[in-house]
Amino acid sequence: MRWAVVIGAFLASLALVGLLRQMALRAGMLDVPNARSSHASPTPRGGGLAIVIVTMVAAAAEAILARGAMVDSLVWLVGGGLVALAGFLDDLHGLSAIKRLGFHFSAAALLLLANGGLPALPWPGGAIELGIFGWIIGAVAIVWSINLFNFMDGIDGLAAAQAIFVVGSFAWLQGSDAGGGASLPLLALAGAATGFLVWNFPPARIFMGDVGSGFVGFALAAGALLTARHAPTTLWTWLVLNGVFVADATVTLVVRLVRGQRIYEAHREHLYQRLSRRWQSHRTVTLTAIAVNLLWCLPWAVATVRVPDLGAAFAAAALGPLFMVVAMFAREALHSRVCEQNLK
């Protein structure tokens, strides 16, 4: 059943992306390169809409087939729909940062209401209930996840490969209990992202667009919260699996804040962007991220499942070096920029 969902989602997405690409080309919906871009030629965008449609269909099917999962399914349909709508409008003609955040926080509030707040965090000596602070932390974390994927969707194949890795690893670690009402949409998301990756793997023939990247970020946050009630995976597991994206996006955001730069403006300062310029290859960067995920993040995620009470310690051990590497490259880039300015 699980493989049937994944394969069906893959085939549906593969066909839909091809159709969306033809529609984008006819409508002139192209991502034209500029000084802040990481691509060199005009490329159709909005292919992530296929991921949205396929995942939404799966969520609707979950609501029909398993009535006990109705609330979870509504979260995917309404919350995910709000995020996808904001991204679609932004792809079409641009949307102000305030309006985007309004959509995002509305979706986050819906997810938290459906889940009863942030789940208890496994901790040595017993789980920690965060109470009202959990709602605040949860809302910020969900909105950050939405925007994190948007920030990290800047080179060919990276965001889709990350989504496949996170959901695929979760399904493997979760085992026979695929996570309650979130199971069908998550499996469909993995299959749909794989179908999209066929078109988006370097050199990309279509981009995901904000409609897809924001939705995937919300979907992974929803998956983490809605499946936290179903052992053996925990929120720590999801955090570790997303470690590569969390480290790069967070360090870059903090650096830009410290330097007084507008964090919502497009730029090319993420580590993955700097590496793509240094190596002159999107493919190499995407494959490197996949290798780091499999060889570093996945073993630590397994540890959070084997000993859940030590999940926080394992997450710190997994993310700490990733943050240090990103910070080291950010410092190197800043030093190089200062030297160039001094020479002038």
Residue 155, SS3 per DSSP: coil
Query: Total domain count for the chain?
Result: 1
- DSSP H or E stretch at residue 132: helix 132-152
pTM of the model: 0.93
Residue 24 has pLDDT above 60, yes or no: yes
Summarised one tens digit per residue, pLDDT across range 302-315 is 999 999 999 999 99
Q: Is the pLDDT of residue 79 over 60?
A: yes
pLDDT reported for residue 313: 96
Look-up of token digits 């996840």: 145
| pLDDT(258) > 90 | no
pLDDT over 70 (residue 10) = yes
8 A C-beta contact, residue 199 and residue 16: no
Q: How far is CA 68 from CA 8, 111, 189, in A?
A: 24, 17, 21
pLDDT at position 319: 98
Of residues 266 and 120, more confidently modeled: 120
Q: Is the pLDDT of residue 21 over 50?
A: yes
Q: Please, what is the Cα angle at 68 between 62 and 73, to 5 degrees? A: 40
Whether the predicted pLDDT of 177 surpasses 50: yes
Calculate the alpha carbon distances from 223 to 1, 164, 184, 263 in Å.
19, 13, 11, 27
Of 19 and 183, the structure prediction assigns the larger pLDDT to 19
Residue 273 pLDDT: 94
Mean pLDDT (the chain) is 90
Mean pLDDT of 154-162: 96
What is the reported pLDDT for 229?
Answer: 76
For 68, which DSSP code? G
- DSSP class of residue 294? I
3-class secondary structure, 28: coil
> CA-to-CA distance for 293 and 295, rounded, in angstroms?
6
- The tens digit of pLDDT for each residue in 283-342 reads 999 999 999 999 999 999 999 999 999 999 999 999 999 999 999 988 876 665 545 454
Higher pLDDT, 248 or 36: 248
Mean local confidence (pLDDT), 139-153: 95
Higher per-residue pLDDT: 227 or 299: 299
Residue 36 domain boundaries: 2-343
Q: Of all residues in the chain, what percent carry a pLDDT higher than 90?
A: 67
**pLDDT band (50, 70, 90) for residue 343:** very low
pLDDT of residue 297: 98
Q: Hey, which of 192-206, 220-234, 257-271 has the most confident mean pLDDT?
A: 192-206
DSSP 123: -
Mean pLDDT of 214-232: 91
Q: What is the mean pLDDT of residues 34-46?
A: 74
Task: Give 89-143 pLDDT, tens digit per residue.
Answer: 998 888 999 999 999 999 999 999 988 899 888 888 778 888 899 999 999 999 9
pLDDT of residue 68 exceeding 80: no
Structure tokens at 227: 């499946």
102's CB contacts (< 8 A; 6+ apart) are: none
